Amino acid sequence: MTQKVALITGAGQGIGKAIAERLSKDGFAVAVVDYNADTARQAAAAIEQAGGKAIALVADVSRREQVFAAVEQANTQLGGFDVIVNNAGIAPTTPIEQIDEAVIDKVFDINFKGTVWGIQAAVQAFKALGHGGKIINACSQAGHVGNPELAVYSASKFAVRGLTQTAARDLAPLGITVNAFCPGIVKTPMWFEIDRQISEAAGQPLGYGTAEFAKRITLGRLSEPEDVAACVSYLAGPGSDYMTGQSLLIDGGMVFN
């Protein structure tokens, strides 16, 4: 059988890197996509050194043409296309009274529009190849319950959850499933920056923001990127073939639905 191909955006570090590594272990050839060429190359090189097959691609997911180009490159260079993980995202703290047009545009351009472009590019590739596929979007527990200090980020993730449901209905006739994963507090550079912003705004030392959010975690520990990657592994694999339109919480028990 031909090796299946997965493309992961924002895969140069953090959760995206862990997802790329996990899908490689699952047998996928992976396209590591990031706006940072250096981190993309390093992540792909690590996968290759571990015995996997990977390529590094550069794309700003807020630019539709760049996302389409990345998917086409993955298809051409890796010999197929089966799964896209729209993982790239940003999460600046946005106290209500400080929100301006610039931060709304930046967050939605990346978190929401980037997901739309990824869905569209994947559908185009699946159609050209004559088969269905899997679309997996990065949501968040903040896409189920509004998070303090993260109004714009939470709003963008609620939007991704709604988009996931609608796309699942629209694309099912094409044999395409659309699901999302919803992490909580994950030990990544993005979270540490959120902690810094929240802690400084409260006049507290680093770690204050993390401690406040962590009080809500039933399992009593922060998430490792590999915890999230395991959820995505399920969504990318055959075990989830009869699932679509779902946004799975993988947050240690912060939100119960």
Token pair in block for residue 153: 């980020």
**Tokens 């959760």 map to which residue?**
15
* Strand partners of residue 9: 33
User: CA 61, CA 111: separation in Å to the nearest integer?
Assistant: 9
Which entry of 35, 153, 208, 234 is annotated as an active-site residue?
153
208 flagged as catalytic? no
Strand order in 83-86's β-sheet? Answer: 54-58, 29-34, 5-9, 83-86, 133-138, 176-183, 247-250
User: CA 219, CA 214: separation in Å to the nearest integer?
Assistant: 10
Residues near 58 by beta carbon (within 8 Å), at least 6 away in sequence = 33, 34, 35, 36, 37, 40, 70
8 Å CB contact between 60 and 88: no
Rounded to whole angstroms, what are the CA distances from 191 to 16, 17, 200? 13, 15, 14
215, with CB counted inside 10 A (0-12, 13-18, 19+), is: exposed
Q: Dihedral of CA 19/25/30/33: which sign?
A: positive
- Compute, in degrees rounded to 10, the torsion defined by CA atoms 112, 180, 126, 20: 100
Residues near 173 by beta carbon (within 8 Å), at least 6 away in sequence = none
User: CA 226, CA 17: separation in Å to the nearest integer?
Assistant: 9
Residues tagged active-site: 153
